[in-house]
Chain A
């Protein structure tokens, strides 16, 4: 990682230069500094400045940092000047902050949440509508905020791994992998090839069960029960496969510091055969979804996220790649077995629900391909038990490509191997402000369709 330090007044200029050839990842605060993180083909770039009063708010120019700067202000007491949004990010003792709404004659507000009608995480969505059309949408999250970063600080870093795996259930593997890589970096150890292949299998299984769920939900959003039922049935089979291969239906603790869980992938051949059968069935059901013209017409033109908006908001994952982007951490900054098994990056220029469905369909099949190649490389040899990891004093940034995009962690340990601090910047937190923008001009009844085409998590975004 390249780290540059500037005076706070020079931050806007330094960030502007960084953004010329880097993707924005996150902004975060420590007790003494603020940091703006970027990723490029050459690696990570950290632009840091000492904390002082009235740091120029970059969110005014670069909306990608809007939520991060509000978090830095509310959770870490950073003082900014020129903030575009002075409302609290989190729900406090006074309740949720007022929603930002459109004003004018004929504007009607539709408020849903925080409790939703289905089996969905909590959030308050305030639609400003003119007739059926959404003029603007305000998303108030943080209802699931447990305070994970403050809670983890001070804990033994290795012993905290099961908690890190449970910050969010639907991107557990990606975060566990980022965390394991961080502790291994601080300990100065590397894992063997078999472990890295096994980790890749876990990460791609997580992508598979999530993408199958997302595709089923997209079908549901268009009212197409056939694909919803069949793809959701396949998602269940993927979870059964996860349990058989890694001992947990949602792959919790599949990746641990120093390796993978004990006893995983004991029968790699059976896993490979089951994955091949699931792949064949998934191909058939994805064809049925993509081949249904009336459903595709519902997807086309819905929830458009223009390429320039996706870039300005720092959108990651399939949402970015469906808006003409190619950002994929596995290809940009290969880690583990991705250095040998480089995935083809799916990209689509249509920017709508249809494009996001196509990107996820392509990534689903590519994930099966990666698993097949990794298990072939692994052969009959189960990965070894995890090696001991004793992280030394220091800080590091790690990121992996989860089902929703870059899962970034900043981990700092003290000399005793305890967490000095951990900063969680999830793909979902990155993408939520863009989902809001993708709803503008759509109709309220299409919110489930547009929202589920991203299918972001709340728990990892809330912390």
Chain B
């Protein structure tokens, strides 16, 4: 069986109106307890280095332009991974006046990880799926 973790990932994170809950869990995954460096996964500081862009939040009116600019700056191929119920379009702020239809929906996420917020382990499964798609 092929190793599902066979692809190293540079991961760039893009917050589009998240409550910071998904960020806590993504930080946890990137922290010492989950040791994702053994998978070759790392958070990168520039979209130029990204194989994956993670997006959270319902998308806010104020973030839409910056989010588009970030995605436009990525090298291809690049997989967008939506993290959390807000990004999936079904979070607590769906329908709020300055909220969009979900960052993952607006930015064409190929992988969606549900949860409010999803656990670090669930996010890791989303990254494994992103790696599979990039192979």
Contacts and interface: CB of A to CB of B under 8 A. Distances in A.
Interface of A: 90-91, 95-96, 114-115, 117-122, 142-148, 150-151, 162-163, 166-170, 172, 213, 229-230, 232-233, 235-237, 239, 249-250, 252, 457-459
A147 B96 contact: yes
A146 B98 contact: yes
B58 interface: yes
The 4 residue pairs across chains A and B that have the minimum distance between CB atoms: A169-B21, A147-B97, A117-B45, A91-B62
Nearest to A165: B92
A146 B99 contact: yes
A118 B92 contact: no
Contact of A120 (B17, B23, B62, B95): B23
A169 to B, nearest CB: 3
Interface in B40-84: 43, 45-46, 57-58, 60-63, 65-67, 70
B126 to A, nearest CB: 15
A122 B19 CA distance: 11
B66 A143 contact: yes
Contacts of A143: 17, 60, 62-63, 66
A352 B66 CA distance: 34
Given A166-B92, A236-B28, A250-B117, A147 B99 contact: yes
Nearest to B25: A249
Nearest to A210: B24
Interface of A, helix, strand, loop or mixed by DSSP: loop
Contact of A119 (B43, B57, B58, B119): B43
B20 A121 contact: yes
B20 A145 contact: no
Contacts of B98: 145-147
B31 interface: yes
A232 B66 contact: no
Contacts of B45: 117-118
Contacts of A151: 93, 95-97, 99
Contacts of B117: 169, 250
B114 interface: no
A295 B61 CA distance: 41
Contact of B60 (A96, A146, A166): A146
Contacts of A142: 62
B32 A144 contact: no
20 contacts: A115-B14, A115-B67, A120-B15, A121-B15, A143-B17, A144-B15, A144-B60, A145-B60, A146-B96, A147-B96, A150-B96, A163-B93, A167-B19, A169-B21, A169-B24, A170-B20, A172-B21, A230-B32, A232-B31, A235-B28
A410 to B, nearest CB: 19
A121 B116 contact: no
Contacts of A239: 24, 28
B13 to A, nearest CB: 5
Nearest to B23: A119
B1 interface: no
Nearest to B97: A147
